[in-house]
């Protein structure tokens, strides 16, 4: 399965068996750039780019409703088919840029992959079940990791990796990377003794009192007085500037 070097003439060799298992995402070519893409978003379309090893970048646009559906069901670590006309491009969602204020999707990037080459992707953990150490002993669940880097063939890349919290039955116990069940052909690129989840003992009354005492009233008072003095100084300087000159 080799892609021809020029994107405009590329046709994928028949790989229907593999592509059928991926979600399809229909896209269109895009001719608006820069500030002009604002009109695309107003029409419910999101600017997109398709790139990959040995191919030219392709400027695209995708319907927001279709993109949201794919993000919800497939996520950013799973394979999808980017469908452009009669071509189906095996790809992954490599980046989703959000508006810093509204969190609306601004742009999306797709990375076209070769199905016969392994790739490295960060895959999120899916924490399932409840720990008896939390429900019975009132312990505190700590999750030092939310995702892990994974190496696999694109078709074998998991959407998420489950972490069974029921394995933690006592305070002080943990779930390690080596305890996780991963599909055949999937390799986790992190030390096997890395802690994924653990349950610690709740704070005692003495510890809570000590923590509260660390915030001293005197410190708050001093800070407040300093702020007041600073405001008074600014006000005095402003008054002097506004005062009329003596005739």
DSSP state at residue 117? S
pLDDT of res. 174: 97
**Same domain, yes or no: 134 and 56:** no
Question: What is the count of structural domains for the chain?
Answer: 3
Judge whether 37 lies within some domain: yes
Judge whether 247 lies within some domain: no
Q: pLDDT averaged over the chain?
A: 82
| pLDDT of 159 over the 70 cut | yes
Nearest to 48 by CA among 70, 35, 32: 32
**Same domain, yes or no: 232 and 217:** yes
pLDDT of res. 142: 96
pLDDT of res. 240: 46
Q: Are the beta carbons of 161 and 145 closer than 8 angstroms?
A: no
pLDDT of res. 132: 95
Domain boundary among 69, 85, 115: 115
Judge whether 134 lies within some domain: yes
Confidence of residue 8 (pLDDT cuts 50, 70, 90): very low
**Same domain, yes or no: 109 and 143:** no
Nearest to 77 by CA among 96, 55, 59: 96
Pick the range with the lowest mean pLDDT from 73-87, 161-175, 216-230: 216-230
pLDDT of res. 7: 32
Judge whether 157 lies within some domain: yes
Pick the range with the lowest mean pLDDT from 63-77, 133-147, 174-188, 231-245: 231-245
pLDDT tens column, 94-107: 899 999 999 999 99
**Same domain, yes or no: 24 and 99:** yes
Judge whether 80 lies within some domain: yes
Strands (E), the chain: 23-26, 28-29, 45-52, 58-63, 79-84, 87-98, 105-112, 119-128, 140-142, 147-152, 161-164, 174-176, 187-188, 195-200
Report the CATH number that the domain containing residue 92 is assigned in CATH. Answer: 2.40.240.10
pLDDT of res. 17: 42
pLDDT tens column, 196-212: 999 999 887 787 777 77
**Same domain, yes or no: 108 and 139:** no
| pLDDT of 216 over the 70 cut | no
48-87: string of b/e by CB count within 10 Å (b at 16+)?
bbbebeebeebebbbbbebbeebbeebbbbbbbbbebeee
Domain boundary among 115, 131, 147: 115
| Greater model confidence, 81 or 235 | 81
pLDDT of res. 48: 96
Instruction: Please provide the DSSP assignment of 137-177 as one string.
Output: T--EEE-S-SEEEEEE-GGG--S-EEEEGGG--STT-EEEG
**Same domain, yes or no: 171 and 223:** no
Confidence of residue 214 (pLDDT cuts 50, 70, 90): confident
**Same domain, yes or no: 65 and 102:** yes
| Greater model confidence, 235 or 17 | 235
The model's pTM is 0.67
**Same domain, yes or no: 105 and 143:** no
| pLDDT of 14 over the 90 cut | no
Domain boundary among 63, 80, 115: 115
| pLDDT of 20 over the 60 cut | no
Report how far residue 164's alpha carbon sits from residue 185's, in angstroms, rounded to the nearest whole number. 21
Containing structural domain, residue 177: 121-202
Report the CATH number that the domain containing residue 131 is assigned in CATH. Answer: 2.170.120.20
Report how far residue 39's alpha carbon sits from residue 46's, in angstroms, rounded to the nearest whole number. 10
**Same domain, yes or no: 163 and 217:** no
């Amino acid at each position: 399965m080799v892609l021809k070097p020029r994107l405009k003439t590329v046709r994928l060799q028949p790989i229907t068996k593999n592509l059928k298992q991926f979600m399809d995402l229909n896209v269109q070519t895009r001719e608006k750039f820069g500030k002009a893409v604002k009109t695309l978003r107003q029409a419910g379309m999101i600017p997109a780019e398709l790139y990959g090893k040995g191919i030219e970048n392709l400027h695209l646009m995708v319907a927001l409703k279709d993109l949201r559906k794919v993000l919800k069901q497939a996520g950013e670590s799973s394979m999808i088919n980017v469908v452009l006309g009669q071509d189906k491009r095996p790809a992954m969602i490599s980046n989703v840029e959000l508006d810093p204020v509204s969190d609306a999707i601004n742009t999306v990037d797709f990375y076209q992959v070769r199905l016969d080459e392994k790739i490295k992707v960060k895959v999120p953990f899916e924490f399932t079940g409840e720990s008896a150490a939390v429900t019975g002993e009132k312990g505190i669940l700590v999750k030092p990791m939310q995702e892990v880097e994974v190496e696999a063939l694109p078709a074998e890349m998991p959407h998420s990796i489950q972490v069974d919290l029921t394995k933690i039955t006592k305070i002080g116990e943990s779930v390690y990377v080596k305890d996780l069940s991963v599909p055949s052909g999937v390799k986790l690129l992190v030390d096997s003794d890395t802690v994924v989840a653990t349950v610690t003992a709740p704070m005692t009354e003495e510890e809570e009192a000590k923590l509260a005492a660390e915030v001293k009233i005197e410190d708050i008072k001093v800070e407040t007085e300093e702020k007041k003095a600073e405001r008074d100084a600014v006000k005095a300087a402003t008054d002097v500037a506004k005062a009329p000159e003596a005739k």
